[in-house]
Amino acid sequence: MIKSWAEPFKIKMVEPIRMTTHQQREVAIEGAGYNTFLLRSDDVYIDLLTDSGTSAMSDYQWAGLMVGDEAYAGSRSFYHLVDAVREVYGYEELVPTHQGRGAEHILSQILIKPGDYIPGNMYFTTTRFHQEHAGGKFVDVIIDEAFDPEDQHPFKGNVDLDKLSALIDEVGSEQIPYISVETNVNMAGGQPLSMANLRATSELCHKHGILVMLDATRALENAWFIKQREGGYEDKSVAEIVREICSYSDGATVSSKKDNLVNIGGFLALRDPKLAEKARALLVAFEGLHTYGGMSGRDMEALARGIEEMVASDDHVRARVGQVEYLGNRLLKAGIPLVQPIGGHGVFIDAMTILPHIPQDEFPAQALAAELYLASGVRGMERGIVSAGRDPATGDHHYPKLELVRLAIPRRVYTQAHMDVVAESVLEVHENRESVGGLRFTYEPESLRFFQARFEPITNRP
Ligand SMILES: *Cc1c(COP(=O)(O)O)cnc(C)c1O
């Protein structure tokens, strides 16, 4: 039997990418203030900045763009999307939005009143923003193992039921409209939660009259890990597992720019028609009419097809996660410190361990990301002190426990040979790690500073 997996597709169209010289990259990274967000994509060879909205669509999805129905109301493509969401996720009510944060906005506005608490298994930037914007307070109830990069727990995305019970006891269930449960937790490094944990979380919440809302953005990748790691699921299809995940919830927000294989889009899905009515009332004001939300007809058509395609067989997700694991395992074998287990959407390099000579306030992960770009044109993203920002009260940096460079892998975009080049580049930078120095700000924006901050190398160190 053949043990290797390969992509369940062949390539029909190609998009050229530019290889650059070291000298060109020096000019580019200096021009970008040593911030990979400020690079032009034309100067990037292999772009691992994010897996959001960067997937390659299939020929069937591209064909869908041509037959998308652009009717303002009652679009055929909307009804195709409704059918796809019912079939794959199992929710009756669909509220389409322009992307995931649009769905988070509407959900937060219809359910949260000022002073409420919203527990969740680690925060996500836009999710927490909308909860707070509606007057709620996010409370992290993820298990402690999620914060240890070397802990091998197979389900680091699990909800800590003791933390959740303690919160319910402390503030009372009437102050907790819902729990926000994220599948394959992004900020923990793409780590799944188990079906048993989700089932128990759902039982506890429903006993107290608390709704369970999934962030099902990465439910497919989570389903794959359940199939690999949780007893009783090895013979189920990922399609069956995704359905079961959703069965424990009352609704979900989804950013379709991830699992769903499109470049833009998202939705809020619900079971309760009354709640859906409230959502639709806001939708008209903030996104669009209830049969298109924030999307064009062709976007909805490509999305409906992407949702069907992602679970049509297990081969897609096997190759998607397999490619991430291929890169991660190559790096681990060569002694590169990574967040483990390797996650579903990318590898997270531990910059603090690689660059112990750079103090955290000289931005080791930022420096490592810039160095990796310089070495080979590979673009990753800082996930450390720069992303964490400052404490508004004291004005000092937040000092997160981890300084990471994230290499997020777009779906169906790069080949194994690209992954080999990425691995070689990381190894080269690792070999020369002692020559990598720290950075200092030349421009620091007030909020969400990681997007637009500029830096320069600290050359005259004592
Ligand atoms: C990307 C993402 C979001 C936000 O979705 P957008 O489509 O970028 O607005 C929310 N939650 C998770 C887990 C995500 O990965």
Cis bond leading into 16, ω under 30°? no
CATH number of the domain enclosing 342: 3.90.1150.10
259 Cβ closer than 6 Å to some ligand 1 atom: no
253 Cβ closer than 6 Å to some ligand 1 atom: no
Closest CA to 218 of 260, 276, 177, 189: 260
In a domain, 216, yes or no: yes
Query: What residues make up the domain containing 257?
Result: 59-310
Average pLDDT over residues 53-59: 98
Average pLDDT over residues 137-146: 96
Q: How far is CA 264 from CA 69, 101, 302, 367, in A?
A: 17, 12, 10, 31
- For the stretch 276-327, pLDDT in tens is 999 999 999 999 999 999 999 999 999 999 999 999 999 999 999 999 999 9
Average pLDDT over residues 173-192: 96
Q: Tell me, what's the pLDDT at 291?
A: 97
For residues 262 and 205, state if they share a domain: yes
Rounded to two decimals, the pTM is 0.95
pLDDT at 226 over 90: yes
Q: Show which of 295, 310, 325 is a domain's final residue.
A: 310
Closest CA to 130 of 266, 322, 307, 288: 266
pLDDT at 376 over 90: yes
- For the stretch 429-444, pLDDT in tens is 999 999 999 999 999 9
Residue 383 is among the residues annotated as catalytic for this protein: yes
Q: Tell me, what's the pLDDT at 398?
A: 87
Q: Which of 72, 399, 443, 451 is catalytic?
A: 72
In a domain, 82, yes or no: yes
Strand partners, 379: 47
Distance between Cα 266 and ligand 1 center (Å): 9
- For the stretch 338-364, pLDDT in tens is 999 999 999 999 999 999 999 999 999
In a domain, 5, yes or no: no
Q: Tell me, what's the pLDDT at 390?
A: 86
Atom of ligand 1 lying closest to residue 52 CA: 1
**What is the Cα–Cα distance from 64 to 290, expressed in whole angstroms?**
21
pLDDT at 65 over 70: yes
| Alpha helix segments (H runs only) across 112-160 | 125-133
Q: pLDDT over 90 for what percent of the chain?
A: 92
For residues 324 and 297, state if they share a domain: no
For residues 297 and 222, state if they share a domain: yes
Residue 215 is among the residues annotated as catalytic for this protein: yes
**What is the Cα–Cα distance from 265 to 156, expressed in whole angstroms?**
28
For residues 149 and 201, state if they share a domain: yes
256 Cβ closer than 6 Å to some ligand 1 atom: no
In a domain, 8, yes or no: no
Atom of ligand 1 lying closest to residue 99 CA: 7
Strand partners, 408: 346
Residues 165/204, Cβ–Cβ less than 8 Å? yes
For residues 265 and 306, state if they share a domain: yes
**Tokens 């395992």, residue?**
329
Q: Tell me, what's the pLDDT at 125?
A: 83
Closest CA to 258 of 124, 378, 386, 139: 124
In a domain, 14, yes or no: no
pLDDT band of residue 392 (cuts 50, 70, 90) is confident
For residues 272 and 361, state if they share a domain: no
For residues 186 and 285, state if they share a domain: yes
pLDDT band of residue 5 (cuts 50, 70, 90) is confident
Distance between Cα 149 and ligand 1 center (Å): 22
pLDDT at 462 over 50: no
pLDDT at 242 over 70: yes
Best of 51, 54, 97, 101 to mutate for ligand 1, by most ligand atoms within 8 A of CB?
101
Q: Is 321 helix (H, G, I), strand (E, B) or coil?
A: helix
For residues 256 and 134, state if they share a domain: yes
For the chain, how many structural domains are there in total? 2
Q: Show which of 310, 326, 344 is a domain's final residue.
A: 310
In a domain, 7, yes or no: no
Q: State the Rg of the chain over Cα.
A: 22
pLDDT at 229 over 50: yes
Distance between Cα 458 and ligand 1 center (Å): 35
For residues 293 and 203, state if they share a domain: yes
DSSP state of 227: H
Q: How far is CA 374 from CA 20, 24, 398, 417, in A?
A: 10, 9, 28, 19
Q: Which of 124, 348, 363, 455 is catalytic?
A: 124
Bridge-based pairing of strands 251-255 and 211-215 is: parallel
258 Cβ closer than 6 Å to some ligand 1 atom: yes
pLDDT at 460 over 80: no
Q: Which residue's CA is minimally distant from atom 2 of ligand 1? A: 255
pLDDT band of residue 209 (cuts 50, 70, 90) is very high
For residues 30 and 172, state if they share a domain: no
Q: Exposed, middle or buried: residue 413 (CB in 10 Å: 0-12, 13-18, 19+)? A: middle
Q: Tell me, what's the pLDDT at 123?
A: 87
**What is the Cα–Cα distance from 400 to 388, expressed in whole angstroms?**
7
Q: Report the sign of the C-alpha dihedral through residues 280, 285, 287, 293, in that order.
A: positive
In a domain, 15, yes or no: no
For residues 74 and 210, state if they share a domain: yes
pLDDT at 92 over 60: yes
**What is the Cα–Cα distance from 459 to 462, expressed in whole angstroms?**
9
Q: Which residue's CA is minimally distant from atom 10 of ligand 1? A: 100
- For the stretch 101-138, pLDDT in tens is 999 999 999 999 999 999 999 988 889 989 999 999 99
In a domain, 3, yes or no: no
257 Cβ closer than 6 Å to some ligand 1 atom: yes
Distance between Cα 16 and ligand 1 center (Å): 28
CATH number of the domain enclosing 178: 3.40.640.10
Q: What tokens were used for 42? A: 């034309």
For residues 251 and 137, state if they share a domain: yes
Best of 124, 183, 193 to mutate for ligand 1, by most ligand atoms within 8 A of CB?
124
Best of 186, 187, 299 to mutate for ligand 1, by most ligand atoms within 8 A of CB?
186
Q: Show which of 288, 310, 332 is a domain's final residue.
A: 310
